Amino acid sequence: MEVPESEYAFLVGRAIDLATLGRAERIAHEWGVLPHEVMIALGWIDESSYVAALGATLGMNWLGRTPGRSRRPEEVVIGAYAMRPRVIREAVSLLPPGQHPVLATRREVDAIHMAGAEAALIDHAIEGLWRSDPSASARYGAETWQALLAATAVGLFVGGSLVAPEIIVPFVMALLTLPFLCVVLLRTAAVLELARRRSPRAARAVSAVPDTELPRYSALVPLYREAEILPDLVAAMAALDYPAAKLEVLIVLEASDTETRAALDALDLPGNIRPVVVPEKGPRTKPKALNYALELVRSPYVVVYDAEDIPEPDQLRRALGAFAEGGPEVACVQARLGIHNTAQGWLPRQFALEYASLFDAQLPSLQRLGLPIPLGGTSNHFRVDRLKEAGGWDPYNVTEDADLGFRLARGGYRTLTIASTTWEEAPIALRSWIPQRTRWLKGWMRLGFDRHQVIDLKR
């Protein structure tokens, strides 16, 4: 991509020097992006300074020059980040008389977009799945017939045990062996999976893709009352081996979480990391926040990380390799999770064993058998169009990740696993572990009551 020398010369002496501009142009050519995207993403110039300098050069106003002022009806807002300077100049020259162009940063464009549609977007984030497919939502829990069936089964067992225990008890015990047999068979398949050697084809394929051909990627990181982890989170995102100008990181915050919002504002964030504030409307859940932020994603691929996650640097490239190898029917790629604080006690070590069993053996064996894969809570990489087609996350489900994995399978899509690790911190005290495990069990019980999941597993 050849950039005219004079196009960004207005920045020299104002924010950068000539050598920095030349370096930005070289990197932009390697990455297949625009020079100002490189400079902003790498923190050489902040986006507000760039827009202010561009506006002064083009003789245009900047929306953020007067904070808090309202837009005028005759103003046409132009996102300065999306276009190169000469394209903006050409677009302005085509405006009809009476319309006044004004430049805006990405955050200002997002604010305008949200201001006009915030109510509709938060409503869709909460009720969208339930409206499109009520049976797929956990909004109202088990259905009446399911509760009656469960109560009838318990009543028959108790009554039968009192009348003819020599018949009922052995019968029930024999019946219960069937699901346990299924568990044994799946565990056996997992052991066999461990014995198989991994193929490095996907890793080799993605390593050959030049940066210019890599697609844009987004990462959603929902936080709630986690101000202390922000510096580590920013460092983990910066360590990803992906062109920074092609990677946007949206840190998703709750409106009521003023402490984390203030801590984020105090940080000197890279230009490719910006916050998204979710309006205060219940339920206050991670899936609701993700649904809301998803509307701001413009990339074809998105990944979800938790605040404490430390993904391996090449994880995005490995995920793209799996998408390319699997074909268009692959909607999601699940990376493995590992525990990095095993030295802090017995409980983290048990987590490490559990995660190793799940992500190294059980999930790959489910993939090999062509069965639905219950996603982990983080490091899920999605094709954005497939994710939206499935209805996004269920804001009423406390294990929205596993639920989404089944709904993707119901839609005819596949989930693949990759041997790339995201390191997490496990609870070190029972008072933290018990609420987490209770929530997981409640979510899995809800999935067990979903008649559509049962139908699909039988099919």
Q: What is the pLDDT along the chain (459 residues), one digit of tens a residue?
A: 444 456 999 999 988 999 999 999 999 999 999 999 999 999 999 999 999 999 999 999 898 776 666 667 778 999 999 999 999 999 999 999 888 899 999 989 888 877 778 889 999 999 999 999 988 888 876 677 777 888 888 888 888 888 888 888 888 888 888 888 888 888 888 888 877 755 555 445 555 689 999 999 999 999 999 999 999 999 999 999 999 999 999 999 999 999 999 999 999 999 999 999 999 998 889 999 999 999 999 999 999 999 999 999 999 999 999 999 999 999 999 999 999 999 999 999 999 999 999 999 999 999 999 999 999 989 999 999 999 999 999 999 888 999 999 999 999 999 999 999 999 999 988 888 887 777 677 666 666 555 444 333 332
Q: Does 258 map to a domain?
A: yes
The pLDDT value given to residue 443: 64
Phi, psi at residue 345, to the nearest 5°?
A: 145, 180
> Whose structure tokens read 């992006």?
33
| Distance from C-alpha of 438 to C-alpha of 449, rounded to nearest angstrom | 17
131 found inside a domain: no
- Token readout for 22 is 């030349």
Q: Within this chain, do residues 191 and 246 fall inside the same structural domain, yes or no?
A: no
Say what the pLDDT of residue 4 is.
46
Question: Is 133 contained in some domain?
Answer: no
Nearest to 223 by CA among 191, 249, 192, 194: 249
Q: In this structure, is residue 138 part of a structural domain? A: no
DSSP assignment of 192-240 equals HHHHSPPP-HHHHHHHTS-GGGPPPEEEEEE-SS-GGGHHHHHHHHHTS
Domain end residue (candidates: 104, 120, 152) = 104
What CATH number is attached to the domain comprising 253? 3.90.550.10
Q: Which residue in 50, 55, 62 sits closest to 12, CA to CA?
A: 50
What is the model's pLDDT at position 65? 72
Could you give the number of structural domains in the chain?
3
Q: Are residues 419 and 287 in the same domain?
A: yes
CA distance 308 to 328: 31
Same domain, 98 and 182: no
Q: Where in the sequence is the domain holding 451, given as residue range(s)?
A: 201-458
Integer angstrom CA distances of residue 269 from 44, 54, 233, 272, 451: 11, 21, 11, 8, 46
The per-residue pLDDT for 454 is: 38
Residue 179: per-residue pLDDT? 84
- 0.85 cut: is pTM over it? yes
Is residue 128 a part of any domain in this protein? Answer: no
Task: Mark 212-224 as b/e (b = at least 16 C-beta within 10 Å).
Answer: eebebbbbbbbbb
Asked whether residue 238 falls in the same domain as residue 189, the answer is no
Radius of gyration of the chain measured on its C-alpha atoms: 26
Tell me: do 417 and 306 sit in the same domain: yes
Q: Is 379 helix (H, G, I), strand (E, B) or coil?
A: coil
- Domain boundary, last residue among 161, 178, 195: 195
Which residue shows structure tokens 């005819």? 412
| Within-domain flag for 429 | yes
